[in-house]
Amino acid sequence: MPHSRRYRSSERSSRGSYHERYRSRKHKRRRTRSRSSSSERDRRRRREDSYHVRSRSYDDHSSDRRAYDRRYCDSYRRNDYSRERGEAYYEAEYRHSYEYRRSRDHDGSYRSCKSSRRNKHRRRRRRSRSFSRSSSRSRQSSRRAKSVEDDDEGHLIYRVGDWLQERYEIISTLGEGTFGRVVQCVDHRRGGTRVALKIIKNVEKYKEAARLEINVLEKINEKDPENKNLCVQMFDWFDYHGHMCISFELLGLSTFDFLKDNNYLPYPIHQVRHMAYQVCQAVKFLHDNKLTHTDLKPENILFVNSDYELTYNLEKKRDERSVKSTAIRVVDFGSATFDHEHHSTIVSTRHYRAPEVILELGWTQPCDVWSIGCIVFEYYVGFTLFQTHDNREHLAMMERILGPIPSRMIRKTRKQKYFYHGRLDWDENTSAGRYVRENCKPLRRYLTSEAEDHHHLFDLIESMLEYEPSKRITLAEALKHPFFDVLKTEPSTKVWDSSRDISR
């Protein structure tokens, strides 16, 4: 089966009409007219224009063209932490409130019109990125960027060396997603600790998703202050000139990026075991606290440290990597949903989407279990189980791999267009039918060894990929599965040993 490539759905932005912006500028210029010189009027006009170009509206996407559909686009599978979704740090000054708060430098950026000519000259661009309170001019100039600007997509424009909040010094870019970018920063209020800072686009729907994510991360911090349950730790969050920013512990590569960089070489089964166990632990913690993640995928599971050992494969004539430690963290809670909250119709990235979601039968926490089953399979074989972007084809793949969809689910779904006389309406003689037939096979035929632990693994995956949510294994039950028994007997230092498994 070919390795997955993804594409992201298009986003269309619309700006206000030319006449509306012209009237707005004209109105503002009338108010500030009078004794200003021509150059000063030009500066004001540029500053006012910059606010109008921020207006954007985004189309609603169909269920198959959502921002997190990603077939045939490796660039989207970069570590977007999802919708997307971030993490952040909390200190003693942190206020336990979900109210939207402005950053200090935002408040300080608006000064009296009676300031000196020197201050006016310093303010000739829209806004300063950071404001140093030091009396030292050299220190102040080194921390201040020339302006705060966004690109056409709403990303914050920044450079290495820029400071945010008089605290975060940008070192490098870690990744980019539809939600914004993640950068590595030095946190100068935490003794120079390096952190990951998620900078959300200045687009309202992503800002709102970030606020929801912050709310979830607050709950996680409250329930797990010692960070024992393997969910990424948030340290701080703030609004930076319209960009929601979240800082969080700096982690390694995602389990997908490591797989991709390793030429999609599957993880050995002993590493699959430890990674799967940790994912089950982390998501069980969420479920116990009445949360459903809804967007579990290899991109949203990160290694704490992705250092690796390198060996040369003589047969394939290539270097192969083996991660030294399989300790992981679950990230990206931008789509996480509390049990009492509204449950949107479509959730999860396409390849990890449960059948009850596709058939719009309503979903609860078992949809996360289905996603984990798909993830564990991907770790074991190196490629995605359901490589498709179409609902009907997705259901056909499920039937080819797992058997017929239960008649009860077919009778109950509103999506009767996918069925005919109680069976999936699917023609195996079409090009799509041949693709499914040639690239999918019954689940057990993907076994790479007849060893007992391999059969235990597939028994676990089968129980996670049960069609009926009510019959699907719970994570509390999964943690007691025989596949994980060896973790309870082996010394902890051997769990993530990087040596290759001889049964592979």
Residue list for the binding site for ATP = 198
Both tokens assigned to 238: 């703030």
- Residue appearing with tokens 């070919």: 2
The DSSP secondary structure of 244-260, one letter per residue, reads EEEEEE----BHHHHHH
Going by C-alpha positions, the residue among 389, 395, 388 that lies closest to residue 439 is 388
Report yes or no: 93 and 253 within 8 Å, Cβ to Cβ: no
Cα 453 to Cα 484: distance, rounded to the nearest angstrom: 9
Does 295 qualify as catalytic in the annotation? yes
Beta bridge partners of 244: 239
Partners of 198 in beta bridges: 182, 246
For 242-278, give one letter per residue: b (16+ CB within 10 A) or e. Answer: bbbbbbbbbbbbbbbbbbbebeebbbbbbbbbbbbbb
Total residue length of the chain: 504
Alpha-carbon distance 480 to 160, whole Å?
A: 48
Q: What angle is formed at CA 216 by the lines to CA 214 and CA 218, rounded to 5 degrees?
A: 70
Q: What distance in Å separates the CA atoms of residue 360 and residue 167, rounded to the nearest whole number?
A: 46
Nearest of 451, 396, 345 to residue 61 by alpha carbon: 345
- The alpha-helical segments, DSSP class H, found in 403-495 are 407-412, 431-439, 452-464, 475-478
Q: What are phi and psi of 182, to 5 degrees?
A: -115, 125
DSSP collapsed to 3 states, 52-120: HCCCCCECCCCCCCCCCCCCECCCCCCCCCCCCCCCCECCCCCCCCCCCCCCHHHHHCCCCCCCCHHHH
Give Cβ neighbours of residue 266 (< 8 Å, ≥ 6 apart).
259, 272, 379, 380, 381, 382, 448
Please report, in range form, the residues annotated as the binding site: 198
In the set 69, 187, 257, 295, the catalytic residue is 295
What is the helix (H) or strand (E) element at residue 48, kind and residue range? Answer: helix 38-52
What 8-state DSSP symbol labels residue 241?
A: T
Residues with a catalytic annotation lie at 295
